[in-house]
Structure 1
Amino acid sequence: MTAEDNLAKLVGFAPVAGSPNAPVSGWAADMLRAAGAEVTLIEGPEGDRFDVFATFGPREREGIILSGHMDVVPARAADWASDPFTLTERDGRLYGRGSSDMLGFLACVLAVAPEFTALSPERPVHVAFSYDEELGCLGVPALIARLDSLCARPWGAVIGEPTCLEPIRGHKGKAALGVEVRGRTGHSSRPDLGLNAIHGMAEVLNSVIETAGALEHGPKAGDFAPAWSTMQAGVFSGGEAVNIIPDRAAMEIEVRAIPGVDPEGLLAPVLDRLAGLRAKGYDVSHAIRSTYPAMALAADHPLAALVERAAGKPSVAAVSFGTEAGLFERAGIPSIICGPGDIARAHKPDEYITRDELAAGTAFVRAVVSRAATL
């Protein structure tokens, strides 16, 4: 099947993050087996979602990983000019949810997969397709945890996020925290008899604002914009009516950390403030929604040189968005980000990839594998 055929099939599965993914993961596994790979489906803790790991060639030797996620963000059909889950061509553009982010790369990998053994007869080529990346890289840790039982430790990984085939060597890490504060309701005329949850949460919000300001004066990494780690409150809710003392407030907080800074560690001042609320009688709970580390590949690393040659473009030091690359790097596998399509089209109505970009993506995959075979 061509990359366009594969993309049409992938988009048609409507593999929205957070949903059972047996149809898309099973189909991808079958395609890789048919191409000659040894394939393992790795069940996640949810019980209804699976990663796919495939190896072409001698798994006992060091090889390279081609990695991408099978899930996409939701799409409202009313916002699109065509069905978001039916690949639709208009003027050379292929419209569909995930066409750029990042089913296009998966389609290219599957199109070239039947050639992998011939392109790299002595070194293995691994394919790693994950689930629920869009929810904070939730699926790939289960795959990475199994790697040592599936193959010799790979020497590098290419994460095919849409970069217009521009190699990217770094990104910030991220942690997302959900907080809930519960107080005591009552009539607003007697605030002395209640415990206002919004007022309590305001103390947490102040901590977020103070910490965000302090981070601007903390460690910096000049390749990023902004150059420092960041924190923000992204969602806030609470209360029923102006004359009712609110007994519940909730907030979602995000941090993005430069390389060398632990994203979860940046949340310490906020967690300290929560402890203070408990001492005042509030019932407080919190949960880490997602977390992944930053990544940074040295400009002179052999993987950077290989991918630059395969893409025909120099690498860029860093981008603002995050990927699964940080988790591979933390596991000791040097990683780089490079794939067809454009991140600027992602998560928007009428997302698309062009036929030329798909063709360039298949050529890129072929070049990466053939060059890695000679190392």
Structure 2
Amino acid sequence: MITQLQEDSIALLKQLISLPSFSKEEVDTADAIEQFLQARVVKTHRKKNNVWAYNLHYDAAKPTLLLNSHHDTVKPNSGYTRDPYRPDVEEGKLYGLGSNDAGGCLVSLIATFLYFYNQENLSYNICLAATAEEEISGVNGLEYVLPDLGELEFALVGEPTLMNLAIAERGLLVLDCTVHGKAGHAAREEGDNAIYKALKDIEWFRDYRFSKVSEVFGPLKMSVTIINAGSQHNVVPALCSFTVDVRVTDAYTNEEVLKIIKNNVDCDVKPRSTRLKPSSIAKDHAIVQSGLALGRTTYGSPTTSDQALLSIPSVKVGPGDSARSHMADEFIYLDEIKEGIELYIDLLKPVINGR
């Protein structure tokens, strides 16, 4: 059965590579995924370019785990020497845009879902969600359908990790800060220089150390990255604005960090969004222990994924290598997909075959 699932998965991935699926333009790959599942007599659900399904013996009295990955891609960069939409196989490598990020993960999760689909007496329901707009953190992807998926207990998010377990992921806050002064002529003792007033807050962002330190990531990091003020050399500026990049660890929520910042600075602080949350899963969680028993390692991921939209425990794991994501002539090894399917299945077996 697993061999057939592996072959079908590779065939599906080749089809997905051949269909351009930039973020917000994933209708063709959504159709292909939907048709692939329906051809195997799986009832599917769809909203926009998001497709999801549940195991055959779904039981509302049981908890549900989420298997999620995305089918959108970035646009091919100028370094491509191959047709990004031609799924060529050479020396065991499957080339094509989205092959590694995250097509290999997605088709491997679909295969894993199908492996367990007909099984009875599982201790968890399984929800498979192939979602859109991950590459742009869009609002019409996983976040859009989460309310429709029902209550979820934990999630496997498919991203290329060499099948090691990313047990934490940083969140992101981008803050627009504004300091108000008073305009005046630079040659006279007039005005209240907004740049000088901003210096105190900028120094605070540089020097402040949060009391809680993540076991995985270490200290939370804040960086002032953009500053704008002034209109001409002889006018004291009345306004100074600057941008702060805040990489939030699993030691805090975005809201907690924002509150601490606002309590310590004088400038007006406006977050562009608090959607991209830090995420984590306990090291003693059954899925992590299962991975460790299979010889996989754990780490904290520096990259952001759809994990950031989940408020449940989640682990990011999948075939392929994050270092290949968005590279020219992207590829994934066929053996990575085959082994990924087997590892996903072995990872879940002790967790969902009995509690």
TM-score range, shorter chain: 0.7 to 0.9
> Is the Cα–Cα contact under 8 Å of residues 169 and 318 in structure 1 kept in the other structure?
yes
What percent identity do the matched residue pairs reach?
20
User: Counterpart of 2:324?
Assistant: 345
Displacement of 1:83: 2.2
RMSD between superposed Cα atoms in Å: 3.8
Structure 2 residue runs of 5 or longer lacking an equivalent are 1-6, 188-192
| Structure 2 CA distance for partners of 1:323 and 1:212, relative to 1, 3 Å | farther
Displacement of 1:67: 1.0
Displacement of 1:212: 3.7
Displacement of 1:299: 1.5
User: Counterpart of 1:220?
Assistant: 213
Displacement of 1:72: 2.1
Secondary structure, counterpart of 1:365 in structure 2? helix
Structure-2 separation of matches of 1:87 and 1:180 = 49
Q: What code does the residue aligned with 1:232 have? A: S
Q: How does 1:79-228 map to 2 (within 5 A)?
A: 79-119=79-119, 122=122, 123-136=124-137, 138=139, 139-148=141-150, 153-177=151-175, 207-208=201-202, 210-215=204-209, 218-224=211-217, 227-228=218-219
Structure-2 separation of matches of 1:137 and 1:82 = 28
Q: What code does the residue aligned with 2:133 have? A: D
> Is the Cα–Cα contact under 8 Å of residues 160 and 337 in structure 1 kept in the other structure?
yes
Among residues 248, 266, 285, which one is paired with 1:301 in the alignment? 285
Instruction: State the TM-score, normalizing by the size of structure 1.
Output: 0.74
Structure-2 separation of matches of 1:201 and 1:71 = 42
Structure-2 separation of matches of 1:74 and 1:206 = 41
| Structure 2 CA distance for partners of 1:125 and 1:114, relative to 1, 3 Å | same
Superposed CA deviations along residues 255-290 of structure 1, whole A, max 9, x for unmatched, are: 111213123553564796553xxxxxxxxx956256
> Is the Cα–Cα contact under 8 Å of residues 65 and 153 in structure 2 kept in the other structure?
yes
> Is the Cα–Cα contact under 8 Å of residues 170 and 247 in structure 2 kept in the other structure?
yes
Does residue 363 (structure 1) correspond to residue 347 (structure 2)? The answer is no
Secondary structure, counterpart of 1:291 in structure 2? coil
Superposed CA deviations along residues 318-344 of structure 1, whole A, max 9, x for unmatched, are: 22223333543x2xx332121101112
Q: What code does the residue aligned with 1:255 have? A: V
Secondary structure, counterpart of 1:32 in structure 2? helix
Displacement of 1:200: 5.8
Q: What code does the residue aligned with 1:228 have? A: P
| Structure 2 CA distance for partners of 1:203 and 1:244, relative to 1, 3 Å | closer
| Structure 2 CA distance for partners of 1:249 and 1:96, relative to 1, 3 Å | farther
User: Counterpart of 2:9?
Assistant: 3
User: Counterpart of 1:279?
Assistant: none
Instruction: State the TM-score, normalizing by the size of structure 2.
Output: 0.78
Q: What code does the residue aligned with 2:157 have? A: I
Structure 1 residue runs of 5 or longer lacking an equivalent are 44-49, 184-189, 193-198, 276-284
Secondary structure, counterpart of 1:38 in structure 2? coil
